[in-house]
Structure 1
Amino acid sequence: MNKTELIAAVAEKAEISKKDAEKALKAFTDTVAQELKNGEKVQLVGFGTFEVSKREAREGRNPRTGETMKIAATNMPKFKAGKALKDMMN
């Protein structure tokens, strides 16, 4: 499912226009991204948790040359599915 299909499905399920569904989806994604950027986590009980995972700096190897290189520390977004979502899949 791509973004357009998701917007159409949300609009149908919520009985709203596609334009309003697109606004709601954009507001949701922007809000989650901003909270993650601020170092916060977003927890949706029964669905899951969006949080930031910190990756430490490490040494890597260039596969082409075999040369050792430093990989900088980074913050990565992470999603952990909630129990209800996991149960729904099984």
Structure 2
Amino acid sequence: MTKADIVAEISEGTGLEKMETQKVVEAFMDSIKSSLSKGENVYLRGFGSFIVKERAEKTGRNISKNTTIIIPAHNIPAFKPAKTFVEEVKNNVKVK
């Protein structure tokens, strides 16, 4: 499912125009990105949490040059689904 599919489905379900729905979806995503950039987690009850995870410094290898490099500690965005969300997916997804 793409962003365009999401916009079309929300538009159909709410009766809003697609352009308005697209603005809302974009604003929602911008809000989440902005919050995570500030180090603030986003909690959506019944859906999940968008969180910032810290990755520790580690040693990596460049196999083409056969050298060792240090990968510095850094933060990455992550999504943790709510338990109800996980259960719904487990019970409803049919593997093809």
- Same structural fold, with TM-score higher than 0.5 when normalized by the shorter chain: yes
- Secondary structure of 2:39's match? coil
Cα distance in 2 for residues equivalent to 1:41 and 1:88: 23
Structure 2 residue 78 is the aligned partner of structure 1 residue 81: no
- Secondary structure of 1:35's match? helix
TM-superposed CA distance for 1:82, in Å, is 0.3
Cα distance in 1 for residues equivalent to 2:61 and 2:52: 25
Which residue number in structure 1 is paired with residue 93 of structure 2?
Answer: none
TM-superposed CA distance for 1:15, in Å, is 1.5
TM-superposed CA distance for 1:24, in Å, is 0.6
Q: Spell out, residue by residue over 1:2-43, the C-alpha distance to the aligned partner (whole angstroms, 9 max, x if none).
A: 111111111111211101110110110000001101111100
Which residue number in structure 2 is paired with residue 56 of structure 1?
Answer: 56
Identical aligned pairs, as a percentage? 34
Q: CA RMSD in A?
A: 0.9
- Secondary structure of 1:40's match? coil
Cα distance in 2 for residues equivalent to 1:43 and 1:52: 12
TM-superposed CA distance for 1:66, in Å, is 2.4
- After superposing on structure 2, the runs of 4+ consecutive aligned residues of structure 1 that deviate more than 6 Å are none
- Secondary structure of 1:10's match? helix
How many residue pairs get aligned? The number is 90
TM-score, structure 2 length as denominator? Answer: 0.88
Code of the residue aligned with 1:23 in structure 2: it is K
Q: Spell out, residue by residue over 1:35-56, the C-alpha distance to the aligned partner (whole angstroms, 9 max, x if none).
A: 1011111000010000100111
Please list, as runs of the form range in 1=range in 2, the aligned pairs for 1:1-90 lying within 5 A after superposition: 1-90=1-90
Cα distance in 2 for residues equivalent to 1:18 and 1:83: 31
